[in-house]
């Protein structure tokens, strides 16, 4: 991977690989999570919908089709206390173009038009495009509310991280979307291009000759006023927080949040990752084998770490009568991890599984993009190969120490309200 700086707060990297017949070019914008999340997300989605010269869906899709079926995607996520807003264009590699067409450079020009066109011209998106993207964004937010497993996990994180950026939904809420007007979209576009930390990734067989130059030129045309992102808030647990809600569901949800007060990058948290995987990752995990299978307390029970925040969230689907027993059993499994009550074969199974998953990243271009995109804020991002080497160096003692660092912080319970239940999501 080669890296360079294109402008203040703009990092560019190229990952050379001959595995794929396409080249993906991606621009990620990073801002503190805030009440502007909905506006930022809507602005990103509108970027993906067209350009000033190709403002309608038909003309924009025709242009993508002319580039041998190029595709444009965008997504919003949260990385620690920051909002990640990323747009990506995948185009046919020049090697597979007819008549030696410079497909990748043509795609890079299109992507720059999508990102900078409206900012430089200070013009609004068509009304129909704004209404469409607002509707789609609200549907996406509503889907997360209707999926009770996702809803319960998000609620636990909100309670754990109240007052911190990480406690906010990166896409905002429906009321925020409804209030957005053209002036809010223009301001959001300026935030993304002028204020955000920008991380550009290119993955393909050859580096496009025009992309970096075009990006640098466009950034010189705007009033770039980049401010360094604040450090992630990482807090140890203090008083235990317990919240119970009731909804028309058949299956209860028990979500338990743990903190270690450390957090960090891949190198700092690799032992946490393996510990969490043995605790509640694959079918070899203690939560699956004991809480779900042996004790039959849950329909599902798994653990997921958030490395930058030093958090583990355990979420489970349980019958209401089993909630307290499941809670006790989950805590016992973590205690067993801290005491070293796990076998060497568990460590080997976890390392093999994690490295197998990581190894598959380099065979899928989109997975490879997301690997590097999710590490854009790391000072020294690790490659998939480096990550596997770090994993294989972790010892039993490292895993036990990692488990001892985590303390229960939040218990969120979603119980049936006794009314006619909805179909489970």
Burial class (CB in 10 A: 0-12, 13-18, 19+), 328: exposed
The verdict on residue 271 lying in a domain is yes
Looking at residue 92, what is its pLDDT? 94
Q: What is the DSSP string of 90-136?
A: EEE-GGGSGGG--HHHHHHHHHHHHHHHHHHHT-PPPHHHHHHHHHH
d(CA 263, CA 231): 11
Looking at residue 282, what is its pLDDT? 85
Question: Using an 8 Å Cβ cutoff, are 221 and 392 in contact?
Answer: no
The verdict on residue 14 lying in a domain is yes
d(CA 115, CA 215): 10
The verdict on residue 229 lying in a domain is no
Domain boundary among 191, 221, 251: 221
The tally of domains found in the chain comes to: 2
If asked whether residues 257 and 198 sit together in one domain, one would say no
If asked whether residues 187 and 262 sit together in one domain, one would say no
If asked whether residues 291 and 206 sit together in one domain, one would say no
The verdict on residue 234 lying in a domain is no
Instruction: Kindly report, residue by residue over 358-372, the tens digit of the pLDDT.
Output: 999 999 999 999 999
If asked whether residues 284 and 184 sit together in one domain, one would say no
Question: Using an 8 Å Cβ cutoff, are 411 and 242 in contact?
Answer: yes
- CATH number of the domain encompassing residue 179: 3.30.830.10
Instruction: Kindly report, residue by residue over 250-267, the tens digit of the pLDDT.
Output: 899 999 999 999 999 999
Question: Using an 8 Å Cβ cutoff, are 232 and 402 in contact?
Answer: no
R_g of the chain computed on alpha carbons: 23
If asked whether residues 131 and 183 sit together in one domain, one would say yes
- Running DSSP on this structure, what letter comes out for residue 7? E
Which tokens is 306 given? 């958030």
If asked whether residues 193 and 339 sit together in one domain, one would say no
d(CA 82, CA 228): 12
Domain boundary among 172, 189, 221: 221
If asked whether residues 209 and 247 sit together in one domain, one would say no
Q: What domain range includes position 29?
A: 2-221
Name the strand (E) or helix (H) holding 300: strand 300-306
Looking at residue 423, what is its pLDDT? 47
Which tokens is 155 given? 């609620």
If asked whether residues 255 and 182 sit together in one domain, one would say no
The verdict on residue 314 lying in a domain is yes
Looking at residue 370, what is its pLDDT? 96
d(CA 84, CA 394): 30
Domain boundary among 221, 252, 284: 221
How does pLDDT run along the chain (425 residues), one tens digit per residue?
888 999 999 999 999 999 999 999 999 999 999 999 999 999 999 999 999 999 999 999 999 999 999 999 999 999 999 999 999 999 999 988 888 889 999 999 999 999 999 999 999 999 999 999 999 999 999 999 999 999 999 999 999 999 999 999 999 999 999 999 999 999 999 999 999 999 999 999 999 988 999 999 999 999 999 988 988 999 998 899 999 999 999 899 999 999 999 999 999 999 999 999 999 998 999 999 999 999 999 999 999 999 999 999 999 999 999 999 999 999 999 999 999 999 999 999 999 999 999 999 999 999 999 999 999 999 888 999 999 999 999 999 999 999 999 999 999 999 998 875 444 44
If asked whether residues 400 and 273 sit together in one domain, one would say yes
């Amino acid at each position: 991977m080669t890296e360079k700086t294109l402008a203040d707060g703009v990092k560019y990297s190229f990952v050379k690989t001959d595995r794929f017949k396409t080249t993906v070019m991606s621009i990620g914008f990073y801002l503190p999570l805030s009440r502007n999340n909905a506006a930022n997300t809507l602005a990103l989605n509108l970027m993906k919908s067209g350009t000033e010269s190709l403002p309608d869906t038909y003309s924009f899709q025709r242009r993508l089709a002319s580039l041998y079926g190029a595709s444009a995607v965008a997504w919003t996520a949260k990385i620690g206390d920051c909002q990640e807003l990323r747009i990506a264009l995948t185009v046919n590699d020049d090697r597979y173009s007819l008549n030696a067409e410079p497909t990748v450079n043509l795609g890079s020009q299109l992507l720059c038009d999508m990102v900078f066109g409206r900012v430089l011209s200070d013009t609004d998106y068509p009304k129909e495009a704004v209404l469409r993207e607002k509707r789609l964004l609200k549907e996406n937010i509503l889907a997360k509310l209707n999926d009770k497993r996702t809803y319960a996990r998000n609620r636990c994180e909100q309670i754990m991280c109240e007052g911190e950026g990480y406690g906010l939904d990166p896409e905002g809420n429906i009321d925020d979307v409804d209030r957005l007007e053209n002036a809010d979209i223009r301001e959001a576009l300026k935030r993304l291009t002028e204020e955000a930390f920008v991380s550009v990734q290119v993955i393909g067989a050859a580096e496009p000759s025009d992309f970096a130059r075009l990006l640098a030129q466009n950034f010189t045309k705007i009033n770039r006023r980049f401010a360094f992102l604040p450090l992630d808030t990482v807090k140890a647990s203090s008083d235990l927080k317990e919240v119970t809600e009731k909804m028309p569901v058949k299956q209860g949800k028990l979500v338990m949040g743990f903190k270690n007060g450390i957090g960090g990058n891949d190198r700092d948290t690799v032992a946490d990752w393996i510990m969490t995987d043995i605790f509640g990752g694959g079918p070899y995990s203690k939560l699956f084998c004991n809480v779900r299978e042996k004790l039959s307390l849950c329909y599902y029970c798994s653990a997921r770490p958030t490395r930058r925040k030093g958090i583990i969230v355990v979420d489970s689907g349980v019958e209401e009568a089993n909630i307290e027993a499941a809670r006790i059993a989950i805590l016992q499994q973590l205690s067993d991890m801290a005491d070293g009550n796990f076998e060497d074969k568990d460590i080997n199974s976890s390392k093999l599984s994690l490295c197998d998953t990581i190894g598959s990243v380099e065979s899928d271009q989109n997975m490879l993009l997301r690997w590097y995109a999710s590490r854009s804020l790391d000072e020294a991002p690790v490659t998939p190969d480096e990550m596997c080497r770090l994993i294989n160096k972790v010892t039993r003692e490292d895993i036990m120490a990692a488990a001892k660092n985590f303390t229960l912080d939040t218990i969120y319970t979603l119980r049936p309200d006794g009314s006619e239940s909805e179909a489970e999501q």
